[in-house]
């Protein structure tokens, strides 16, 4: 399994202005074969921070995700926003152990 965890710094209106692009990207990504989880969340302490969480069955699924049409459209939309990814780290993991 491949896990990506990251953060983005959002400008004052980036969340509102990017809402449609975020919603579309999340829905399209979660519909991809090989994507186990794809989400963004706003930090409860600092709403200018967005957390990024992505899980893929393998590297091939991540590669295909990066080549998708919705990724190209999302990157174009992000170019118009005051938002910048400040950290993105990839981990490899087993399937984990469900605790609850």
Indicate the domain borders of the chain: 2-92
pLDDT at 81: 94
- Cβ pair 30, 38 in contact under 8 A: yes
Per-residue pLDDT, 62: 98
Which residues on neighbouring strands pair with residue 8, listed in sequence order?
A: 50, 85
Q: What architecture does CATH give domain 2-92? A: 2-Layer Sandwich (3.30)
Convert 66-83 to b/e letters by CB count within 10 Å (16 or more is b): eeeebbeebeebbeebeb
pLDDT one digit per residue (tens) for the chain, 100 residues: 999 999 999 999 999 999 999 999 999 999 999 999 999 999 999 999 999 999 999 999 999 999 999 999 999 999 999 999 999 999 999 989 999 9
pTM: 0.92
């Amino acid at each position: 399994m491949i896990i990506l965890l990251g953060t983005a710094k959002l400008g004052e209106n980036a969340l509102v202005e990017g809402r449609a692009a975020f919603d579309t990207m999340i829905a399209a990504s979660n519909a991809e074969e090989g994507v186990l989880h794809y989400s963004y969340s706003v930090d409860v302490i600092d709403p200018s921070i967005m957390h990024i969480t992505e899980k893929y069955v393998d590297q091939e699924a991540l590669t295909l995700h990066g080549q998708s049409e919705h990724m190209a459209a999302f990157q174009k939309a992000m170019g118009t926003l005051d938002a910048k990814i400040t950290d993105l780290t990839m981990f490899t993991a087993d399937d984990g152990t469900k605790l609850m």
